[in-house]
Amino acid sequence: MPRIDLHYLTSHLELALSCAPSSTIDALRDCDALKRRLAAIDLAEFLVERLGTNLPTVEHSQEMPLPLGVGTAAM
């Protein structure tokens, strides 16, 4: 299964975070799991609208490794 290009996704995620209301950012840090989940859904919905269906993808062999600590259980 192809994956979304990491650099493309990163730039849109940075924009989503910078445009998000402070209440969403606060909810991402909340100790309540439901509030965190709802805030993540808000950001995901923003990304889906922004990215649309023209997502650049990469094959597994072309993927760049994630930075240390990203996408791991240690987070």
pTM of the model: 0.60
Q: Where are the domains of the chain?
A: 3-51
Q: b or e along 42-65 (b: 16 or more beta carbons within 10 Å of the residue's beta carbon)?
A: bbeebeeeeeeeeeeeeeeeeeee
CA dihedral 29, 55, 49, 71 (to 10 degrees): -10
Per-residue pLDDT, 48: 80
* Confidence bin at 8 (pLDDT 50/70/90): confident
**Tens digit of pLDDT for each residue in 14-65?**
988 898 889 999 999 999 999 999 999 888 888 888 877 665 665 555 555 5
